[in-house]
Structure 1
Amino acid sequence: MAAPPELIDDAISEILIRFPPEEPAYFFRASLVSKSWRRILTDPAFLRRYRRFHGTPPLLGFFHDYSVMVPTPRFFSTMVASPFPAAAFERRPWFALDCRHGRVLLRKIDESDEDDAGIEGNFVVWDPNPITGALADLDKPDNPHTSSAVVVCSVTGCDHRDCNDGPFLVVCVREDRSKVAHACVYSSETGAWGTPVSVQLGAYLYVNSHRGTLVGDEIHFVLGLDVGILSYNLLEHNLSIIDPPDMYYHGYIVLIPMEDGSLGLAGIRNSSLYLWSRKVNAEGVAGWVQCKIIKLQTLLSLDHPCKRGYLIGFAEDASVIFMFTAAGAFIVNLKSGQARKVGKYQSYFYVIPFMTFYTPGLSESIKSQFWKDLDSMVASEVFDVSRGGKQEAKDTWWWNDEVQRAIKEKKECFKRLHLDKSTTNIEGYKIAKRAAKQAVSVAKDQAYDNLYQRLGTKEGEKDIYRMARIREQKTRDINEIKCIKDGVDRLLTLCEENSGDRDRGSFEEDEEW
């Protein structure tokens, strides 16, 4: 029988261009079909056409700075294979500040000097695309203390679908002790920071550290405990202040761009999500108009009443906001009115969505990582098997009450410092950090002294024997035992030497484990 005719490149392109952008795993699989398919998938012209075809970049995951002790941006992937190895950032002292137009804005925590450890460091703009990806290390502004910062594409009229390797701006805002807000802009084209601009904050205390919102040519930041809005105009290079709606919200508010291009605001009050839009009336006066009220109990399909929820982020282009309750973290789509759970309950401070057209490179290391992730996913979801993994948790078995008190105090000082970088909070954090370090050192030395003394006793010999048994069991070849369940979900075992006797009833009933 004759082989079927090969598809021409145009037909292949029409097939590949319809792959869903929210799951880049399809690109990996298609690249292994043939060299011609791989050539098409890596062709810059095809990739530009692919982005135009799908329009809005998909949401591929989000960063979340949930650790107070170690301010490292963790990444939660919504895909089968993560777009980049989690280990790339897990052990580095960086904050994720913003993610927009295919770039991620990070801030290093300077640990080179003991007295200034954990205070301020350089900005880094990262392009995560493995084909064009690069790290841009920015110089510090004249005043390194920053409350919030955003990264934006600097090309006028750009549709932001294929500009991740183009010129960009970084806008930083901060406040001083005189209640004056300052904004300074870095340009990748000049490689320098511009002249700062300022505005008096008045009754507002400080600039919130949450992510800024881009609406048209303006970037908006939350002031204080959700009591005001600081706006920076990219074209006019000036700052202004906007009063929020006259309603109190518990938790945080988030600023969002509305479909009509106006500034929007979302807040939670009495188990309901309120949406506002800033409109200009016939007299040219701008004011807030309430657009929608969403009942969280119905939206999230919770078994128990939603007594309190917190808004922890937003995705501008996707019209979704992030929130967490006692039931976990959720993504809420403001257009469809639907919600999806994306994480378990934990102490989220803020999340930053990662939205981009991720068209992965095809190096051996990236393909190997993809198949490893896919293998783990299949083992977990299809066969209900965990492949295990190395624990990355801190070694804290020797912590005593004194250490825990010192660590708790350090966390509280860091929280205050993260919200308000005043001299008092900076000095308080330094003192708490040194006290925690001293408490840890003393407790650790004492714990190891006790351990060494115990090893010289009879109980210590028993401990060593138990550890040896556990180590031997963990390193046994998994192929020594084969397992299968029967029709009533009972676990049956088959020894390796009897693996060919399945039809002769060599299975034995075993206990569930």
Structure 2
Amino acid sequence: MTAASLLRRLLPRSPITFEPAPGAPYRLPRGLFSLELDGCYMALGWRHGLGLFFHKIRFEVLVWDPVAGHQRLLAVPPDFEFQGGKGDISGAVLRAAGDADHFRVVMVGSNGKQPRAVLACVYSSETGAWGDFISAPLPSEGLFIFRSQPAVLAGDCLHWSLTMAGSRSILKFDLNRKSLDLRLLPGDYYTPLSPVKFAVMRAEGGGMGFLFLFGFTAELWSLNPNRDGVMIWEPGRSIELDKLLRLNPKKDPPQVIGYAEENNVVFFWTVVGVFMVHLESWRFKKLSKTSLDSWYHPFEIAYTPGIGGGHDGAKVVSHWWMTRWARYTKQLFS
């Protein structure tokens, strides 16, 4: 029995659907890919054409390649702690460098023991096994909760946003050094009760940064060395979204609901619809109206124009397609 038929037989139908981004020169037919999962699955993110989903009851992850039609179910190592809906486990999937036939899954979370520690473990499809655990001490005994945002790959490191004992932090996993690092956000800019929104992004130059969203003001921050060589947070460019997107400042402010890391595009929910904004040029495009109960998972793949798409040239171009994770049957932008 294949994994696909197992899912169809055992799980209530709740398909994930795709919608091509407007203006893309190569558009996938609506409904070409579908996957039926139940409400116990959490979408952890998409990267390199692969989706990763975590089953909260069976404690396993599903890797899905919709283009090739392949699926892989993996049992998560039992050392991780998961407390129901508190979200203290997360993960990411990525292709192996220079090898499109293999992938890696990185799971991160807390161990639930004393003294508490943050853990990481990497699965390689090439070896078919999980590697050794990597750990780092947690500086606080408070709640360790991953936010709903997927990891961001910047350079050779994966970054997750999380809340730890009431403070927002970034967890970094170095794929080459196999090391973990926790870094707090600037304390003067965020308190647990402030209305500031926060999302990990790629900074200028490709390193790790984040976006602060305070009301209608979006501000980009990055990590840079000071005169003594110590890495510190520094603010960069900012934009007034009400002026850029022509929004009414008396209405509800925008919220970040997705990020396409390869194209450096952020998705903002507003009362008049969803916009995607390119963070380098500030160019934007309105997508449609949608509810605020979903996170957009951009699906970015690369193709060579001239092969099946009717476009000339040899340059490899990336485009993205949005997937929406929903408990009930929904279709994007319908």
Q: TM-score, normalised by structure 2?
A: 0.73
Q: Give, in angstroms, the shift of residue 309 of structure 1.
A: 2.1
Q: Counterpart of 1:147 in structure 2: which amino acid? A: I
Shift of 1:90: 5.1
2:71 corresponding residue in structure 1: 135
**8 Å contact from structure 2 (residues 14, 329) kept in 1:** no
Q: 1:126 to 1:359 in 2, by over 3 A?
A: farther
The answer (yes or no) to whether the contact 2:33–2:66 under 8 Å persists in 1 is no
* Pair 70,250 (structure 1): closer, same or farther in 2 beyond 3 Å: farther
Match of 2:35 in 1: 89
What does 1:150-189 correspond to in 2, within 5 Å? 150-155=92-97, 158=98, 165-177=100-112, 178=114, 179-189=116-126
Given that residues 79 and 111 in structure 2 are in contact (C-alpha distance below 8 angstroms), is that contact kept between their aligned partners in structure 1?
Answer: no
Alignment of 1:455-494 (within 5 A): none
Task: Tell me the equivalent position of 2:295.
Answer: 350
1:122 Cα deviation after fit: 2.6
Alpha-carbon distance between aligned partners in 2 of 1:241 and 1:322, rounded to the nearest angstrom:
26
* Equivalent position amino acid for 1:75 in 2: F
Please give the alpha-carbon distance, in whole angstroms, between the structure 2 residues aligned to 1:70 and 1:127: 19
1:334 and 2:269 matched: no
| Aligned mates of 1:70, 1:221 — CA distance in 2 | 30
Aligned to 1:105: 52
From 173, 177, 195, the equivalent of 1:236 is 177
Runs of 4+ in 1 over 6 A off after TM superposition: 359-362
Tell me, yes or no, if the aligned pair for 2:17 and 2:31 is still in contact at 8 Å: no
Relative to structure 1, the CA distance from residue 70 to residue 238 in structure 2 (aligned partners, 3 Å threshold; closer, same or farther) is farther
What is the distance in 2 between the residues matched to 1:231 and 1:329?
29
* Superimposed CA distance per residue, residues 18-64 of structure 1 (whole angstroms, 9 cap, x where no aligned partner): xxxxxxxxxxxxxxxxxxxxxxxxxxxxxxxxxxxxxxxxxxxxxxx
Pick closer, same or farther for the CA change 1:321–1:71 going to 2, 3 Å. farther
Aligned partner of 1:301 in structure 2 is 246
Aligned length: 279
Shift of 1:264: 0.9
User: Quick check: which one's helix share is greater?
Assistant: 1
Asked whether the 8 Å contact 2:19–2:30 carries over to 1, the reply is: no
SS of the residue corresponding to residue 72 of structure 2 reads: strand
Aligned residues: CA RMSD: 3.1
Which has the larger Rg?
A: 1
Instruction: Work out the CA distance in 1 between the residues paired with 2:14 and 2:169.
Output: 27
Aligned partner of 2:31: which letter?
P
Structure 1 residues 230-252: Cα deviation after superposition (integer angstroms, max 9, x where no partner): 11111121211112123126364
Call closer, same or farther: CA 1:308–1:70 in 2, change over 3 Å. Answer: farther
- Counterpart Cα distance in 1 of 2:171 and 2:261: 18
**Percent identity of paired positions between Structure 1 and Structure 2:** 30
Q: Distance in 2 between matches of 1:86 and 1:106?
A: 20
Conserved? CA contact 2:61–2:73, under 8 Å:
yes
- Mapped to 2, the partners of 1:280 and 1:83 lie a distance apart of 47
Paired with 2:220 and 2:182, the residues of 1 have a C-alpha distance of 20
Q: 3-state SS of the aligned residue for 1:297?
A: helix
Structure of greater relative contact order (alpha carbons < 8 Å, 6+ residues apart):
2
The one-letter amino acid paired with 1:76 is: E
SS, match of residue 212 in structure 2 = strand
After TM superposition, give the deviation of residue 292 of structure 1 in Å: 1.3
Query: What's the secondary structure of 2:242's corresponding residue?
Result: helix
- Structure 1 length as normaliser, TM-score? 0.49
Instruction: Evaluate the alpha carbon distance shift between residue 304 and residue 207 of structure 1 in structure 2; reply closer, same or farther with a 3 A threshold.
Output: closer
Residue 21 of structure 2 corresponds to 78
For structure 2, the 5+ residue unaligned runs are: 1-11, 83-87, 309-327
Q: Which secondary structure state, in structure 1, belongs to the residue aligned with residue 34 of structure 2?
A: helix
CA apart distance, 1:121: 4.1
**Contact 2:197/2:214 (CA < 8 Å) preserved in 1?**
no
